[in-house]
Structure 1
Amino acid sequence: MGKGAMIARRAFLMGSVTVAGGFAVGWYSLNQPYAFPLADELPRGITPLTAYVLIDAGGVTLITPRAEMGQGATSIQAALLAEELDVPWDEIRTDPGPPAPAYFNATIIGEGMPFAATDTRWRAEAMRGLGATMGKLMGFQITGGSSTVPDAYDRLRLAGAAARQMLVSAAAARLGLPEDQLTTREGAVIAPDGTALPYTTLAPHARRVPRPRKVTPKDPADWRLLGKPMQRLDIAAKSTGTARFGIDETAPGMVHATVRTNPRRGGGVNGFDAGAAEAMRGVLKIVPVPGGAGVIADNTWRAMQAAAAIRFDWAPSPYPATTDGLFDSIAAAFVHDARDSRLRDDGEVDKTLERGADVSAEYRVPFLAHAPLEPMTALAWLTSRGLEIRAATQIPRFAVKTAARLTGLPEDRIVLRALPMGGSFGRRLEDDYIAQAVELARAMPGRPVKLTWTREEDMTHDFPRPAAIARGRGRVEDGRVTALDLSISSPSVSASQLGRLGLNPMGADTSIVNGAWDQPLAIPHYRVTGYRAPETVPVSSWRSVGASGNAFFHECLLDELIYAAGADPLEERLRLCTHAPSRAVLEAVGEMSNWGRPLPSGAGRGLAFCLSFGVPCAEVVEVSQTPRGLRIDRAFAAADVGRVLDPVNIENQMQGGVIWGLGHAMRAELTYADGRPEQENFDTYPAMRITECPEIKVRALETGDTVRGIGEPTVPPAAPALANAIFAATGQRVREMPLTREVTFA
């Protein structure tokens, strides 16, 4: 969180923060689709003008509604505002604000349309615009899809610029000077004679200034903050152990709770015996919840011990009970021709491959857990006046709607305080844990109830990344790749995840094929087909979603074809590439890794590319054989984000994505037996260890014409680059993750 007090959010339950003589301003005021989201919550004396900037006697508070989950969202949103407002970086305060339609995400739906990011034809642009309009009409407040920066870039800069213009207007009226003679610096308006009027003193006057109809943000050449290395606002607290996350939240008189629900996903509970648990010390109440039971006690440990003492009669899962059964279900989609999409179909694939395929292979990726370090947790407090929820969530408005449905309360009597999260990777795009906290709060009215899941509950009740199977074949002629045919079968993330949110997605699920069909390659005969497998276990978005597995399929198949052609992996990709920014990242990673330089015997170098979330990214991984197994020595990544707003955070996010991708490729998987996940904790779901982490060098290019996010795009190329490096070092093609099924890592 920021340095200041939290803004009151209809805080009739928890008390309020006094803010006097201030005003709020944002781009929202210039194109007003909804009532101002803070209007009912600011104390008397505040004139709410817009939604993103609040100035009061104590300083400046910036509203940063996109969720902070370790990716630096709060800091970059604050920087976009602070740059235009000219406030000191070390003095600003931040607040996520209340769940509100005004904070809709205009980017995420548009970017999900079935058009490649490189497609700038009028129809593609029109459909993206339609997606943005849908996000606006729905009040679609969500954090995900690497959309925070592209969605906020113009909106928040204009919000800061509008606030600055209003403050200048107020100062001009006070000083009797023309506005064009005034400047702003360090939170003050500066007169020609050097007189500084702090924003805090101008706020009461600025609230009476007419809202500007048009503002112009700064030229990037004049930026003082953006584009330069910044220290994230939360770095000191995280470095000293004083940062507070959802799991750290407390309230006076709070009781503690946990739940146990059927680990067989989709199965209910036939009954349970809680006699032993009810008699345990500190237990206050046993509460039935969907699929199991919750325990409310005087501390978390006693609640968890009591939950473990309950004897349950679990119902079976409606899905295949084993990993093999789940994969059989996915493979059956090919047999039954359950085609979901064919978004790429260039040339004459069938006719070309009738002459023979030079490569034919099947690839597989497993179910993967989100496994954030902080398990699911939420605090809920129900009184006669309403409901307050405190939780780390990426979907605050959906959570409020769920709480309204469960309690029967109108939404305006439900307060949700969004908290920083200790990791998510997509897991907190669900609201199941918030729903449970609300159910438990209903059973203990008048007392704040804090729900905390055990690690085992968190792992076994995840909504994982779906497993998938790909079948690929291709042909080469005259030393070139001439045909590539890739078919991918996977359960639908959109049908599963959006269905739980009460939405009904229509049309094809592009996540089944994203990262494969939309690659900027001019292969003459090129086809990618998606098959929608029957629902397996409930699945959801996982960092980089479909591209996380599809890049493995596509880039491993392409690499096999390139070697069959006798071509160089970098040169052939460059020859095929039709997109200038993508060519630039391929050339950059080749230069960074000194591609073509001979390696010692037993070592290998692999290359992979993927354009995902609008960001082209190329990676090279180097491995070597040791007596203890393969060692990953070095990794290189280049990506084009259009414009770098914080070079430090870009570097961290790119490196983190590479580590995430490599670590999961090496060993991670969720397997199933008797309808339940077999991996229940980090000892059976291993991450990359620090001793295994290679040297990672990254480079962010700025040749694109659109600002993009970087939280996810370096994940997809990591696994295929590693697999291709293994082939280069050993001659062995590994076509299934985790790679430890066939190789050993040192």
Structure 2
Amino acid sequence: MENINTSRRSFIKTTSLTGVGLIIGVSSFAREKHPKNISHTNPNKATVLDLEINPFIIISTDGSIALINPRPDMGQGSTQAAPSLIAEELEVSLDKVRLIQSDGQSKYGSQQSGGSSTVRGLWTSLRKAGAAAKEMLIETAAKRWNASIADCYANDGKIYLKNSDKSFTYGELVDEASKLVVPKNPKLKDPKDFKILGKYNKRLDVPERVTGKAVYGIDIDIPNMVYACIQHSPAIHGKIVSIDDSETLKVKGVLQVMKCERQMPHRKSDAVAIIATNWWAALKGRKALKVTWDNGDLAKTMSTDNYFAATYEAAKKEGIRYEEKGDFNAKFANAKQKLEANYETPFLAHAPIEPECAVVHVKDDGTAEVWAHVQGPDGGLGDVSAALGISKDKIKFNVPLLGGSFGRKAYHDYLNETCFLAKALKKPVKMIWTREDDITQGPYRPGMLSHMQGFVDGGKITGYHHHAIGESIVGQVFNGLAPDESDPWLSGEISTENSKYEFPVSKISWTNVKTDIPIVWWRSVYASNMGWGQECFIDELAQLAGKDPLEARLDLITDARYRKVLETIAEKANWKEKLSAGQGKGLAVFASFGSISACCITVSKNGDGIKIDKVVSVLDCGYYVNPDHVKAQTEGNIVMGITAAIKGGITFTNGVCDQSNFHQYNVMRLNEAPKMEIHIIDSGENPGGVGEPGLPPVAPALGNAIFAATGKRLRKLPFDITNLA
């Protein structure tokens, strides 16, 4: 599979496909509105067969095949996953197709990479696209041979006639096939007949990434562009009082200094841009710049100490009820064996290896071109259109590869900044954030508190309450949360319907504690916060009931799929083995994004701390594309989950972030990574997510293992595993 981006650190123009071809797709994007006036003419003069069709397949008369990837690749493997869905039904091998990244046009439907949605969101629609094209090609061949459709079959880019040596390439048939009516309900393969899906296949884009040929957002270089480096307020929302650029303008290569703005989804903030002929000059110029800021009352409103103090105060009060079974408060008040505890998770930065950047060119003819490593080109195109005041049809939106994201590059403040500058300067602008910008400016995963209550009776957990407390993504980012409303994203994560725990008495509640610290989704969104409190507290209640943690969970769950995950983790991690003195095992299970994941971690005492000996993870994600993808993403989740538990979070003092780079915001290094085992359950269920569900059980499994080994119950993340004294 050849990616259309073929050389790094150079500007590549997309070559046109040759010949008359067929563009076909089957739309299942009910939320997308498809305007009737969309032009369906391709530079290669390919014909769209229906105005309501999403064009995911391009077959040229010369036999070449191109497939559209509607989800940007930020490391999760969409450049192979999406085309695999099409190629499976189209009967072509991935090494014989070209890949084209979608560009934000509505005909491609939702193009957002996030929420572990690529495979589970496109599983049926992209397979239908491939199957429909295949049926049309088979019908065309049958007519030419005057044969029955049943006597024709597709294989490896050709249509064959059974019991003969006759065949046609797709290219030989495509012109005729393009005149047929598109099948609305093409027959899809039985999974037992899959050749690509569910099989081990090489990632064909890996050589380009390893050799440096792959084009990432930071590699874009176009003629006559200038570079921009932004000076943001250390307190993020500070106001500019004065600017002294006298020393900055002395730096060779600096062209000008201009006041600009950072447009976040919920508010604007002042900033200053240094424009230069090269990046080094822009950065050097920023270091010489002197800006006086008015931070107002941000020292109070942007303090993590003050924020968490407010969450602990909220834990003493009733929250907004999301769901309740029975009268929990009355039962808890009268319970003889009960527990109450608070579990805290910190703010976290995304810290992708490739920091935020974009290139925007506003042209004299009223059009614009953009190169931006966004998670969703459709959302990016909409934001650029609004920022520039140019209609979407006059904007060409290019999406390079993303060097990591974890949710960050679906927040387009950096793209809005670049648009602001390009509109003002009337020339192509490349804006790059530094690592310090990325870590000190946010947005961040919200810090959260889980106030837990529960009781046991007769050796079983009989009552459970999870009170989630903190800032709301729905509220801050989208201004979409009423004062008396429970955050639906968060509450849904910890609902008993999602977790499948069947407590005789239970309650889920929520309190919104606001902050000016900007927040957004972070890998696994709220599940990474809430899994910590839920799964550690289940262990606490199991201990109170005198029950094995695994058995206590199985007592509460009748859902067959959920039980299978728990039984499998017990088997693969050898849960009941006798451990050496000073060792301990902990497990946790959490459902998110349509998948169920369990984790078991073994630790052993090491001086005043512990060391992590082994991590075993089990995932039921239903049907999947490639087990290598599943394992790689789960390994990444384990590393990121442990990092979030033991390496330190983001803190604010007097309105300013205390961390600035990796020397203060640590990540797990290769030599620190524990032994990992990943096991996939082939459940045959509808596809679930893969990129995120493996993360939420990691921290609580570690916390439970530490308790098993040391007797110390940790309730606040992060903690130092080298010193638990």
- Matched with 1:608 is 588
Is contact 2:2–2:95 with CA below 8 Å preserved after alignment? no
Determine the C-alpha separation between the residues in 2 that align with 1:504 and 1:373: 36
| Match status 1:632 vs 2:620 | no
Which residue is 2:45 aligned to? 45
The match for 1:389 is 370
Alpha-carbon distance in 2 for matches of 1:329, 1:62: 51
| Residue 85 of structure 2, aligned match among 80, 98, 122 | 80
* TM-aligned CA deviation for residue 662 of structure 1: 1.1
Residues 1:208 and 1:257: Cα distance change in structure 2 (over 3 Å): same
SS of alignment partner, residue 380 of structure 1: strand
Q: How does 1:690-701 map to 2 (within 5 A)?
A: 690-701=670-681
The match for 1:103 is: 108
- TM-fit CA distance, 1:186: 1.0
Distance in 2 between residues matched to 1:505 and 1:148, nearest whole Å: 33
Contact residue 562 and residue 572 of structure 1 kept, 8 A: yes
Q: 1:606 to 1:43 in 2, by over 3 A?
A: same
Label 1:314 to 1:643 Cα distance change in 2 as closer, same or farther (>3 A). same
2:84 and 2:197 in contact (8 A); partners too: yes
Kept in 2, the 8 Å contact 1:19–1:42? The answer is no
Aligned to 1:301: 280
Q: Is 1:314 equivalent to 2:293 in the alignment?
A: yes
State how far apart, in whole Å, the 2-side matches of 1:598 and 1:743 are. 25
Asked if residue 329 in structure 1 is aligned to residue 307 in structure 2, the reply is no
1:709-728 superposed matches below 5 A: 709-728=689-708
1:91 and 2:96 matched: yes
* Distance of 1:389 and 1:507 partners within structure 2: 38
Alignment partner of 2:649 out of 652, 659, 669: 669
1:465, distance to aligned residue in structure 2 (A): 0.7
SS in 2 for 1:637: strand
Aligned pair partner of 2:160 in 187, 190, 197: 190
| Aligned partners of 2:494 and 2:530 also within 8 Å | yes
Match in the other structure for 2:227: 256
Distance 1:532 1:259 in 2: 32
- Verify: 1:235 aligned to 2:213, yes or no: no
Q: Shift of the alpha carbon at 1:615?
A: 1.4
* TM superposition score normalised by structure 1: 0.89
Whether the 8 Å CA contact 2:21–2:45 is kept in 1: the answer is yes
- Whole-angstrom distance in 1 between the partners of 2:18 and 2:243: 51
Cα pair 2:63 2:169 within 8 Å, conserved = no
Whole-Å separation in 2 of the counterparts to 1:252 and 1:171: 48
Instruction: Name the structure 2 match of 1:172.
Output: 142
For 2:391, the equivalent position in structure 1 comes to 410
Q: Distance in 2 between matches of 1:36 and 1:160?
A: 24
Q: CA deviation at 1:347?
A: 5.3
Which of 336, 357, 361 is the equivalent residue of 2:341? Answer: 361
Q: Which amino acid aligns with 1:669?
A: G
Change in 2 beyond 3 A, CA 1:506/1:78: farther
On the 8 A contact 1:617/1:713 being kept in 2, the answer is yes
- Range that drifts further, 723-732 or 89-98: 89-98
Q: Which residue of 2 aligns with 1:509?
A: 487
**Correspondence 1:23 to 2:22:** yes
Mapped partners of 1:471, 1:508: distance in 2 = 15
Runs of 5+ unmatched residues, structure 2: 7-11, 262-269
Q: CA deviation at 1:184?
A: 1.0
- On the 8 A contact 1:38/1:98 being kept in 2, the answer is no
1:396–1:418 Cα contact (<8 Å) kept: yes
- Seen in structure 2, the aligned counterparts of structure 1 residues 452 and 66 have a Cα distance that, compared at 3 Å, is same
What residue number does 1:119 align with? none
For residues 309 and 434 of structure 1, what CA distance do their matches in structure 2 show?
A: 25
- 1:435 matched to 2:416: yes
Letter in 2 for 1:77: A
Q: Is the 8 A contact 1:98 1:416 kept in 2?
A: yes
Question: What is residue 209 of structure 1 aligned with on the other side?
Answer: 180
Q: Is the 8 A contact 1:21 1:46 kept in 2?
A: yes
Distance, in Å, in 1 between the alignment partners of 2:453 and 2:483 is 31
Quick one: structure 1 residues 35 and 204, their matched pair in 2 at CA, closer, same or farther if it must change by over 3 Å? Answer: farther
Q: Distance in 2 between matches of 1:461 and 1:645?
A: 36
| Post-superposition offset of 1:241 | 3.0
In 2, Cα distance between equivalents of 1:236 and 1:36 = 41
Q: Deviations over 1:510-532 (max 9, x none)?
A: 33334432321122122221111
The residue identity in structure 2 corresponding to 1:351 is K
CA contact (8 A) 2:320 2:484 kept: no
Cα gap change, 1:100/1:555 in structure 2, threshold over 3 Å: closer, same or farther? Answer: same
Q: Give the counterpart letter for 2:601 in structure 1.
A: V
Mapped partners of 1:333, 1:423: distance in 2: 35
Structure 2 residue aligned with 1:453: 433
Return the alpha-carbon distance in structure 2 between the equivalents of residues 336 and 272 of structure 1. 46
Partner-residue secondary structure (3-state), 1:358: strand
Deviations 1:204-253 (A, max 9, x none): 22222222233111111111111110112322222333322111112122
Q: What residue is the counterpart of 1:479 in the other structure?
A: 459
Query: Any idea what the Cα deviations from partners look like across 1:469-494, whole Å, max 9, x if unmatched?
Result: 12222222222212222212010011
Secondary structure at the aligned position of 2:387 is classed as: helix
Q: Deviations over 1:404-448 (max 9, x none)?
A: 222221221112112210001000111111111111212332x32
Deviates more, 1:271-280 or 1:347-356: 347-356
Question: What are structure 1's unaligned runs of at least 5 residues?
Answer: 7-12, 106-140
Return the TM-score normalized by structure 2: 0.92
Please state how far the C-alpha of 1:349 moved relative to its aligned partner.
4.3
Report deviation, 1:254: 2.4
Preserved contact between residue 287 and residue 443 of structure 1 (Cα < 8 Å): no
Count of aligned residue pairs for this structure pair: 700
Tell me whether 727-736 or 381-390 shows the greater mean CA deviation: 381-390
Rounded to whole Å, the distance in 1 between the matches of 2:279 and 2:120 is 40
Amino acid at match of 1:95: I
Q: Over aligned residue pairs, what C-alpha RMSD do you find?
A: 2.5
User: Residue 108 of structure 1 corresponds to which residue in structure 2?
Assistant: none
Q: How much has 1:704 moved relative to structure 2?
A: 5.8
Which residue in the other structure is 2:58 paired with?
54
> C-alpha displacement at 1:705, in angstroms?
2.9
Q: What residue in structure 2 maps to residue 124 of structure 1?
A: none
Partners of 1:513 and 1:550 within 8 A in 2: no
Q: Which residue is equivalent to 1:285?
A: 256
1:90 alignment partner, SS class:
helix
Answer whether contact 1:68 1:74 (CA < 8 A) is retained.
yes
Counterpart of 1:551? 531
State how far apart, in whole Å, the 1-side matches of 2:550 and 2:560 are: 15
Residues of 2 paired with 1:506 and 1:265: CA distance? 29
Is the CA contact (8 Å cut-off) linking 2:328 and 2:505 kept in structure 1?
yes
SS at structure 1 position matched to 2:116: coil
For residues 524-571 of structure 1, the C-alpha deviation after alignment (integer angstroms, 9 at most, x for no partner) is 122221111123412100011111011100111111111111110111
Specify which of 155, 171, 179 is matched with residue 125 of structure 2.
155
Counterpart of 1:221 (choices 192, 196, 199) is 192
| Identical-residue share of aligned pairs (%) | 32
Which of the residues 406, 420, 423 maps onto 1:425? 406
In 2, the alpha carbon distance for the partners of 1:667 and 1:238 equals 28
Whether the aligned pair in 2 keeps the contact of 1:365 and 1:467 (CA below 8 Å) is yes
Q: Tell me the SS of whatever aligns to 1:475.
A: strand
Give 2:291's aligned amino acid: F
Seen in structure 2, the aligned counterparts of structure 1 residues 197 and 697 have a Cα distance that, compared at 3 Å, is same
Q: Which residue of 2 aligns with 1:125?
A: none
Deviation at 1:336, TM superposition (A): 6.4
- Paired with 1:543 and 1:481, the residues of 2 have a C-alpha distance of 31
C-alpha change, 1:478 and 1:213, in structure 2 (3 Å) is: closer
Shift of 1:651: 1.2
